[in-house]
Amino acid sequence: MPYREPFAWAMIPLFENNHAGGDAASPSSPLAPSMSGSSSQDSIVEPISKLASDGKLNHYSSGSSVIVEISNLNKVKESYMEDSLQDPKRKVHKPVKGVLRLEVEKLHNDRNEADTISEGGSITNELHDAGELNNGRHSRNSIDGIHSSLNSSAIVKKDTHQNGQSSNGENGNNFQAFDFRMMARSEPFSQLFHCLYVYPLTVSLSRKRNLFVRVELRKDDSDIRKLPVEAVHPRDQNSTLQKCAHTQISVGTRMSCYHDEVIVGYAALPLSTHIQLLSDVSLPILRELVPHYLQESGKEKMDYLEDGKTVFRLRLRLCSSLFPVNERIRDFFVEYDRHTLHTSPPWGSELLEAINSLKNVESIALLQFLQPILNMLLHLIGDGGETLQVAAFRAMVNILTRVQQESSDGAERNKFLVNYVDFAFDDFGDRQTPVYPGLSTVWGSLARSKAKGYRVGPVYDDVLAMAWFFLELIVKSMGLEQSRLFYHNLPLGEDVPPLQLKEGVFRCIMQLFDCLLTEVHERCKKGLNLAKRLNSTLAFFCYDLLSIIEPRQVFELVSLYMDKFAGVCQSVLHDCKLTFLQIICDHDLFVEMPGRDPTDRNYLSSVLIQEIFLTLDHDDLSQRAKAARVLVVLICKHEFDARYQKSEDKLYIAQLYFPLIGQILDEMPVFYNLNAIEKREVLVVILQIIRNLDDTTLIKAWQQSIARTRLFFKLLEECITHFEHNRTGDSLLLGSSSRSPDAERPASPKYSDRLSPSVNAYLSEASRHEIRPQGTPENGYMWNRISPQLSSPNQPYSLREALAQAQSSRIGSTARALRESLHPILRQKLELWEENLSTAVSLEVLGIIDKFSVAAASRSISTDYAKLDCVTSILMGLLSRSQPLTFWKAFLPVVYNIFSLHGATLMARENDRFLKQIAFHLLRLAVFRNDSVRKRAVVGLQILVRNSFNYFKSTTRLRVMLTITLSELLSDVQVTQMKSDGSLEESGEARRLRKSLEEMADVRSKDQLNDCGLPVTALEVAAEGSTDNRWSWVEVKHLSKCLVQALDAGLEHALLGSVMSVDRCAAAEGFYKLALAYAPVPDLHIMWLLHLCDAHQEMQSWAEAAQCAVAVAGVIMQALVGRNDAVWSKEHVASLCRICPIVGTDIGAEVAAAEVEGYGASKLTVDSAVKYLQLANKLFAQAELYHFSASIQELIIPVYKSRRSYGQLAKCHTSLTSIYESILEQEASPIPFIDATYYRVGFYGERFGKLNKREYVFREPRDVRLGDIMEKLSHTYEAKMDVNHTLHIIPDSRQVNADELQPGVCYLQITAVDPVMEDEDLESRRERIFSLSTGSVRARVFDRFLFDTPFTKNGKTQGGLEDQWKRRTVLQTEGSFPALVNRLVVIKSESLEFSPVENAIGMIETRTAALRNELEEPRSSEGDQLPRLQSLQRILQGSVAVQVNSGVLSVCTAFLSGEPATRLRSQELQQLIAALLEFMAVCKRAIRVHFRLIGEEDQEFHTQLVNGFQSLTAELSHYIPAILSEL
């Protein structure tokens, strides 16, 4: 039957970029079943589409398949060789006209099953048992006569039911195209194949004719009638193996023609002898087949064509993984078969020879048949007799060493050997005894018999280098036996029980293990690298055994190891020991391991803890780091192990590791010697252990010893320190906009900066919280949509990968460099990760404190610390660090609980420092922008207040403490911020703080308690056995008000910053307000008073400065009187109060309460009081207020009396003498003494701020006139005006209506005022003459002032006497002068109006009074009753000399002549006449006295006075006739 045969070939790359599994696509099989010389022009049909035959490929894509058209077909030349096909210039190939059209489907990666992928990356399928493999597949549209023959190491897979119909006319099963390059590769055959390729080449007959060749495979030559074996591969993919295959030979003709089959002859090729030949074979052709045609004896009788010449030339190619071409390997296989089948004599010397010659096999063949060779050698080692066993073992070592060296890809374990153990080795599938007893016995016995000279014991390096392979084989063999034993008879869901090793075998393994250990120990000391590898091998051996045999037997091996490496040994040995433990403890069943005795706890864990602690005490830094890392990785692994997620499992694990904490507590110096990174590793482990411990275990640990408990809490403090998270640019306060200290802190590096890549396996999944939503890319992150640069190979997605990469590439030389190398999103993730870690640590520590405080309260733990300092120091540590909201949410309930249980201890004076810290941090939180945090700060302050009520029944002491802490906080908080115009305004922080302080006293804040996780009754305070609530909102409001006042004072002072030097009054007031606000705290009160004193001295306001010194002395005196430890009494304080009224505020109790650490009355001494009294004395003397100096000296004298300091007393009395003399001098002066001038100043205008629409009385030096103060104030306040405002001074003292003033103008109204004496009658209509008040020595303390303003009813300021009214305004100030400040605000203003006649009467009465005063006032300096002559002359001259003053006459003219007299009421008329009569009477008396006093020189003046008086009387008699009779 004729066939159309392949005659041409083409090469196409199947993969993009010509890469197919690492190799370029190969051409079709170099041995394709093709005939040479056949011409096929007649069979070429027209191609479907016209294509240029220039070698271009055209692709048509439909769905997932691709249509490929190939036009560069090449004719195959006769008798081609493999080399000719690879000829780059293709000289031997003529092009063929025609086009091949293929449909190729892409094979997508996701369809590959992982387990079918072999090492080379190709996908392995089972091969059909092959006689001949035809690699062709007919394409639907192929040109008739051409078979496309694609050959590559990948499957071309067709979708059978594409578009609802078969894409091929056949059922397209997958097939594997055989890759002939496999036969030349240096790698083990991993699958069975056994194919013989037969290629008939030529038949050289004398007559040319075309012939068919039929190929058959026969079993033997005995019976020629027997049918051939069905062993030939069919051309059609789906049919079974066939008995024969046909082909065509075309000899010497251009045109091939086809004939029916005619048998010309037979050629026989005995495969048993020729199978190894790869070269061409020439055979003679027989005319007839006879039985036994292969036997030599019958060869002569046979009839051959062409005289028996070898005219039939063919080529063979054997591709087999069963039958080796290599002679030595074949010999070994043959001898092995003879030995195992017992077909040869039993001495086995040929086999021994074959084994020994294996070492000379070339490496490619050795590698290809590696697996069967190893299997056979292992069988011999198992039961081959001692000689064969040793030879096999030695040969095996030799082969393994060669394989390791020759095919080394740099890995420690060769991949072919690993594949052999993992996949190929099946321990003879239960058909023979397992390998492990024999292998371990032989190896062990060789180890003991070094003297026999086998050179195969474990003492030789090559054996030790390959020890891992033998140990893996032993373990695999055991594992296979275990699964065979229990596979069928094990109930579903039960674990496989351990394999019971025979005693002899285990002893053998023990001896072998001991021997190998000795080698490790010896070689380690020499520092050989092999020792470390062997150590790891032994560790993995034990690790694997744990899963297979009884764990206690493994513990014997481990204890053997530990005994060998006992105690503190050389660094390198210790490193080996750590590695060993690290590997074993990584076992999945580690947690469930028993102890050596069934009642014991886990044996391995106790060994591990002991060794790790020893390592932490080691000098070698790398080992310390490794030990800490081992622990962290183990704990991580347990935490994320799905089997141990129940709480009881976690508790068991925690108890397993708990002894480690005990060891650290016993040897704390070991911990302190670690560096920051190691400490963090250890602390993470400690926290994780504690986190899963139950309260009982913890309390039991705390009960052991008080000292250990202290150390335990020291460890917790270390946790807080080492896991602190400072956000970049974090200052004391979150939200302080104006500061950003971005300096690199010297703090220890972050935990995450040291994240080791080794934790990746356990943590990378756990740390990815992203759940992949529908439609996200395969990597699970949405980022690449936003930032494609993130997916670049140098920026991994995972934070851990990025950190590991940065560390390995040494980018992260500093923490900052490491961070900056990260992508911004990853950096943000890192920040978040660190903050979360820090929070988790803080919360954990907080929880432990809570447990401890409960246990301590129930007395189950004995504590020797009255201050509860272990709790307080940790709370302070937590508070002083930046914490997120999560922490604050958990913090309040814990603090409330601790205060409820231990309030008395915590509120006691010993704990002042702690209380102050708590108060400080709560106030700090009250500034936060985050409302949730701020709210919790307010509730926290209320909890403090509640405890204050509970233990002290009042908030006095707490107020002192809060005032102190507020003062400290204000130095950190920025209370002002710059406005756009450069001026200052209140900052957001100050506003938030004020709001929090006000909320503290808000009754409605009870609603917040629930939100903060506290009971609604949290603020109720009831004494033992009583239902009365001690909480008082009134007192809390007072506390809140005091704190707000202090805040405001601080704010005001800060806002003044820029104008301090200009507006001295405002600056002094700022200090004054601060002094008042901090009055509860003596230290702060005194500090601000002294600042104020200095400010006054700079302004030369001596009286005010003196008052400040008095106030300071007063604070000290009060404290001393309150303590009853001084020479003064309350009366002394009262006398001081008369000088400086501020001293009168009774803060005696509070001074005592102010004993807060670092502050308090204990610093206040008698000497300091005397110092400030003396300063006041000096300043009052400078102000010439001697009467105050006298009072102060009288307070200093008792101190010196009590001390009997007579020298000082003498000085005091001398000083007193000079003071009194100064007072006498002042009084004797004819010009009355004035210590100061006073001015009322009214402020009207928005630019004055708080001063707007307020009036003040200013105290100025006595030489300051109205013009001076106007100029001074104009200068001060003009500076405050802006472009839109101007300053204007109101020139008179009339009442101002602020609403009538111009809006863009600021007004100042300045009026001189007179101080009012205490006993003065303000309703008297007399004119005031100030000198009348300078009576005897009295305190010049003024709080009322007046000024008179003339006015008329017709709106004019001045008018005639009959129209002139007078308004007297009396001002009351807040406090009295001299005060602590230069100006006092007017709190009350009253005005009286006097009519013209009252004015006139007042004027006359004033003159009368002045004269009478002069007549009656005694002359103190001389002691007699004579009045002063000079002042009498002055007053008389102004009264009776008509030419000088017509005042009395003008009154008469105005009121007593004509019409006005009729307008006066009779009462007013009588009062006026009476006043005039009295005035004239006093004048007459004064003239008489004057006559008595004068000498000769004044006679003429006296005569003038008498004449004046007489003419005045005559003038007055016209209006008052009765005057003549009166005088």
Among residues 551, 540, 550, 544, which one has the least CA distance to residue 516?
540
If the chain, 1527 residues long, is cut into consecutive pieces of 10 residues, what is the mean pLDDT of each piece?
48 50 34 32 32 44 66 60 58 68 62 36 31 31 27 28 34 59 82 83 74 84 86 78 75 50 77 66 86 81 84 84 87 88 72 89 90 91 82 90 79 88 84 85 74 51 88 92 82 82 90 89 81 92 91 89 78 87 86 72 83 84 87 88 88 90 90 88 91 87 83 89 72 37 39 40 41 40 39 59 73 70 82 86 90 81 68 85 85 86 78 82 85 85 81 77 81 75 76 84 75 76 64 80 82 74 77 82 82 86 87 82 75 78 59 55 74 87 83 83 86 86 80 83 84 88 84 82 81 78 85 82 61 49 84 72 80 86 86 82 82 70 53 74 61 72 72 83 83 79 83 79 69
* Cα 70–chain centre separation: 64
What number of other Cβ atoms are within 10 A of residue 767's Cβ?
A: 16
Q: Which two tokens stand for residue 687?
A: 């926290």
* Number of neighbouring beta carbons within 10 Å of residue 1365: 16
At 970, which helix (H) or strand (E)? helix 956-970
- CA atoms of 969 and 678, how far apart (whole Å): 36
Q: How far is CA 592 from the centre of its chain?
A: 36
N- to C-terminal Cα separation, the chain: 184
Tokens read off for 1094? 């200095």
The tokens for 865 are: 């610390």
Which tokens go with 877?
A: 């540590």
Q: Give the DSSP H or E segment for 1207.
A: helix 1206-1228
Instruction: Tell me the CA distances in angstroms from 1471 to 201, 441, 1105, 1405, one per residue in order.
Output: 168, 148, 49, 10
Burial class of 1068 by CB neighbour count within 10 A (0 to 12, 13 to 18, 19+): buried
Q: Are 1237 and 1264 in contact (CB under 8 A)?
A: yes
Report the pLDDT value the prediction gives residue 705, as an integer from 0 to 100.
80
pLDDT at 128: 32
Q: Specify the pLDDT at position 1159.
A: 64
Q: 1486, 1436 in Cβ contact below 8 A?
A: yes
1380 Cβ neighbours under 8 A, 6+ residues apart: 1072, 1075, 1089, 1092, 1104, 1107, 1108, 1111, 1140, 1142
pLDDT (0 to 100) of residue 94? 67
**Assigned token pair, 936:** 């919790």
CB under 8 Å to 1139, separation ≥6 — which residues?
1107, 1110, 1188, 1191, 1192, 1339
The enclosing H or E element of 963 equals helix 956-970
Q: For the whole model, what pTM was predicted?
A: 0.67
Parallel/antiparallel/unpaired status of strands 58-62 and 984-986: unpaired
Short-list 383, 397, 391, CA closest to 354: 391
Q: Please answer whether residues 945 and 958 qualify as being in contact, where contact means their C-beta atoms are separated by less than 8 angstroms.
A: yes
Instruction: Provide the sign of the torsion angle of the four alpha carbons 1148, 1150, 1155, 1161, taken in this order.
Output: negative
User: Alpha-carbon distance 1424 to 1160, whole Å?
Assistant: 57
Q: Could you give the C-alpha distances from 239 to 125, 744, 973, in angstroms and in order?
A: 18, 79, 92
DSSP letter assigned to residue 549: B
Give bridge partners of residue 105 from the DSSP assignment. 65
Give the pLDDT confidence score for residue 139 in this predicted structure. 27
Cα–Cα distances (Å) from 1372 to 1313, 1315, 1324, 1330, 1377, in that order, read 12, 10, 18, 18, 11
User: What is the per-residue pLDDT for 729?
Assistant: 45
